[in-house]
Structure 1
Amino acid sequence: MSEESVNIEEQPCNTNVEESPAVAATPKQTKLPMAKIKNIMKCDPDANIVSNEAVFITAKATEFFIDAIAKETYSITAKGKRKTVTKKDLQTILDTLDCLCFMEGTIDI
């Protein structure tokens, strides 16, 4: 199946995250501390050497993941006509979206 024929609606999780253009890996382009991410990645005994590009991609993927979950959770909050996001809203998203099934049971309510 070619990339052109993939229907976005068929994807298991459509998080509506905007695509950003490819950019060079520099620390100023991430919101998360790359040094901390690198230290976390090095905790894996199989990862002796971690490239800066791998750290950058991991940081950006984490930012997009957090952004998508935050937007989805806020949408539940807004539907309830509330301004404060609660754990219950996050749990609703985790239970509702199939692409987040790996996180089931991670939040105690």
Structure 2
Amino acid sequence: MAAAVPVPVPEAAGPGPGPGEEAAAGPLCPGSARGARLPLARVKALVKADPDVSLASHEAVFVLARAAELFVETIAKDAYVYAQQGKRKTLQRKDLDNAIEAIDEFAFLEGELLLGFSILCDLLHGGGLGKELSPLQSPLFPYH
């Protein structure tokens, strides 16, 4: 029986990404298949709503959208811990409030989420914006 001889495998033009790193043209590039989950046109409209912003490049809008996604993912994971403590699988407003109160990084959100969550919950449950909220025409919530 012949001994197996290892065959060298040619490597690419450099070492691949290390653990926890992504390739330069990986899934976080604006032109990739994954892209951002948030609609970039709405993110750009929100950015341009700021009077101090005159131009917003595609890359800047993409980075802002991706940062928002990561923020939502982080706060949702932290809030889910409180839902699990309550033996629930569904996040509730009180879970988000508990995460905001318990985690120092979310301190800037204390007292700021009442209206935002009301609008979001209304939209998620198919109600659209209520008549009392219709003056709040936002590029992110064009449902009025």
Deviation, structure 1 residue 38: 0.3
Q: Which of 99, 103, 112 is the matching residue for 1:97? A: 103
Tell me which residue corresponds to 1:26.
31
Share of identical aligned residues, percent? 38
Contiguous gaps of at least 5 residues in structure 1: 1-18
Contiguous gaps of at least 5 residues in structure 2: 1-19, 115-144
Tell me which residue corresponds to 1:79.
85
Larger Rg: 2
| Residue 51 of structure 2 corresponds to residue 62 of structure 1 | no
Deviation, structure 1 residue 24: 2.3
Partner Cα separation in structure 1 for residue 55 and residue 92 of structure 2: 39
Give me the TM-score of the superposition, normalised by structure 2. 0.58
Give me the TM-score of the superposition, normalised by structure 1. 0.75
RMSD of aligned alpha carbons: 1.7
The total of aligned residue pairs comes to: 90
Residue by residue, what CA displacement relative to the aligned partner does 1:18-40 show, whole Å, maximum 9, x if unpaired?
x6625421375110000000000
Structure with bigger helix share is 1
Residue by residue, what CA displacement relative to the aligned partner does 1:45-101 show, whole Å, maximum 9, x if unpaired?
111110001000000000000001111111110122112211111100011110001
Q: Which of 51, 74, 88 is the matching residue for 2:94? A: 88
The residue type paired with residue 105 of structure 1 is G
